Amino acid sequence: MLRLLVLCILFTAGLVQAQEAAPEGPLYYTIAPDIITNYQNSGQTLGYVRVTVDLMLESADKMPLVEQHIPLLRDAINNLLAEQNEQEIRSLEVRDQLTEQGLQRLNDLLLKETGETPLRRLLFTKFLYQ
């Protein structure tokens, strides 16, 4: 009887600990390393942009799904930035639009690949251009 009581206590403690370990709500994922790509600069030269991208996921259980598709997501962000010209890269208004376009593009890709849209926001936490 004592063994059963001890096992019940240990089992309950394990469940409580597991529930405390899993964070609820959104979770952030930083795409590493930074994304570096070229954009069309004025004249014959190319400019480059370097960004750090953080993704806000709907929940922690979506992390494996996002991690599995990071190469696809990096490519989509790379292409989005490469489509811009110098004035667009330097514009703060366009930068805000790029976060919205990027989020839509990434969620569309993930929906096509996995049937889910796990991303809530896309954030540029570093945005350097030359």
Q: Mean pLDDT of residues grouped by 10 in the chain (130 residues)?
A: 51 49 77 92 82 95 95 97 91 94 97 95 95
**Strand partners of residue 31:** 53
- Helix/strand/coil for 59: coil
* C-alpha to C-alpha distance for 97 and 110, rounded to whole angstroms: 20
Cβ atoms of residues 35 and 123 within 8 Å:
no
Look at residue 1 in the predicted model and tell me its pLDDT: 59
Q: Is the pTM of this model over 0.85?
A: no
The 8-class DSSP code of residue 40 comes to E
* C-alpha to C-alpha distance for 107 and 101, rounded to whole angstroms: 10
Of 52, 48, 114, 112, nearest to 77 by C-alpha is 52
Q: Which CATH class is domain 25-129?
A: alpha beta
Could you state, in order of their start, the residue ranges of all structural domains in the chain?
25-129
